[in-house]
Structure 1
Amino acid sequence: MKKHSILLTALALILGLSAANSAQAEGTGAGASKAAASATGSSHTQAVYTAALPLLTDSGKLPQAVRYINSNIYAVTPYQATVLVLKLENVHKAGLKVWASKFNNSAVQRRLGSIYTAGASMAKLAESTDDSSLRTLLKGAGESGYKLETAEGTFFPVIDYAAYRKYKLYVTSDIRDYITIMAAESALPSSKDNGLVIGWSEVAARALSQEQFVRTYPKSNRIAAVKQLYAMYETDTFYGQNNTPLFHYDSLEMDLEAQKAYSSILSKNTGSSPFLDKLEGFMKLLKENGFKLDDAVESYRKAEVPVS
């Protein structure tokens, strides 16, 4: 009986060790498979990223670069996606002068005048002309990532930042917010022909958005660009532009729409903001003197928002 019991115990021990070894083997296999899958994924990600880089060295490769990034940005890491998007913008900026020179031709300008429709894409404009050379020019500019704008009777290409919106899901948070800011500029530029084409409330709202970016992302790769934009909008907020001054030239009275817009913005935004603090002090001073430009108001804005 005792011998039988010993045999059963030994058998159980053998079976237990066998099961443990089997489980360990399976675990090792699963871990190896997971590691292999991770390595394969990492390798693919790096390959996609590496393949994009040569396309972002020359503005002549922009059509290929845009197509490649549009199709493959989902496959790279957020850091890599951010690098690719920033490099794409750099190439867009570098290529803009070349494209502008192609449009800066009297014959091209004359033909564009007969087909231009505000907001129409380069592709749509290309479809609307029978002129093969103009069609090729428009199609090429569109495929390279530009859109057509006009000011003072002249047509010129600009970067189509609205097309960057598709990248917001894949890049870091600062560049996501940067794209939002630049897409708003691209969709509706703030001014044309020395005058504002957006409302006073939008001018202040954009300044507030840009200030928030500067305060939230002080080390962003695009901090300088947003600071430059903010300086422009801050100036527009307190001065207006030549053809849309904040104070009427004859009466020196503050524009009524601006007065309403700024009062509304101050009532809706109560958070900490140097921009809002300046605006609040400005409006308080104006309220005391009947919303007219006088020496005190002029001194205030020169001190708070100096114009070089």
Structure 2
Amino acid sequence: MPSETDLHCHTTASDGKLTPAELVARAHERGITTLAITDHDTVAGFRDARPAAATAGIRLIPGIELSCVWGGITIHVVGLNFDPDSPAMLAAEARQSEARRNRAALIAEKVGKKLHHSIDLAQVEAYAGGDQIGRPHFAQYLVDKGLVPSMAVAFSKYLGAGKVGDVKAGWPELAEAVQWIIAAGGTAVLAHAHHYNMTRTKLRACLQDFIAAGGSAVEVAYGLMDSNQQGQISALAREFNLLGSCGSDYHGPNRFGLELGIMPTFPAGITPVWHNWASPATAG
């Protein structure tokens, strides 16, 4: 179902296909009135989108999707409605940027060795356009060099979960990432909890640590989440008294079959993450 609120999407500031201004324009076309740009480990997308959002009359919420680690598993935590210029968030961005640079060098080394091909990291960086380097940029490089037939194959063979290019080096622990968001005055949301390869017992333990660190919300209406997945996550949200967030995880046209603003209906009985936010005039 289309939603007027989308609190999880990406721009060219990380691994999205649309510029911040283009994303805002698409949101306006689709009737979205509240938008959070949550680029990976950077608030640059939000900062660049502010003029376009003001012109379009869209309430733009400061957002970021932080990479971190819990129990040896890469976890993503979305930060919402924080002060983008706070010392805590600026320090978090600097830390994550350094981690991404180190990670990119390691991915280039590991994937290059596997393919017997010397990967030109400068060319991969060019795909990122000076913004955060991610695995999709490596995938595009591999396709353009004729080393794989498609980005899907690049991920299934070399860059996806558990593959040689799935490098976790440098990410902070879950608690530290959550604390960055809290220190910046924001709300920490556990992103797409149904995607992690965890048993229910392990996911409950992760949620307990997330809450202990200051986390207070979980995504209960997310992109192409099916009814069974939504039911499971919604039940956990109720059990742990967590707020609910929603978002498409839109990355651009023809990416992952997603569209901006499309997600399951927000479940009943869960308080929305935006319930206690300031008025649109003061929320970023």
Q: TM-score, normalised by structure 1?
A: 0.25
Please identify which structure carries the higher strand content. 2
**Greater RCO (CA < 8 Å, at least 6 residues apart):** 2
Greater Rg by CA? 1
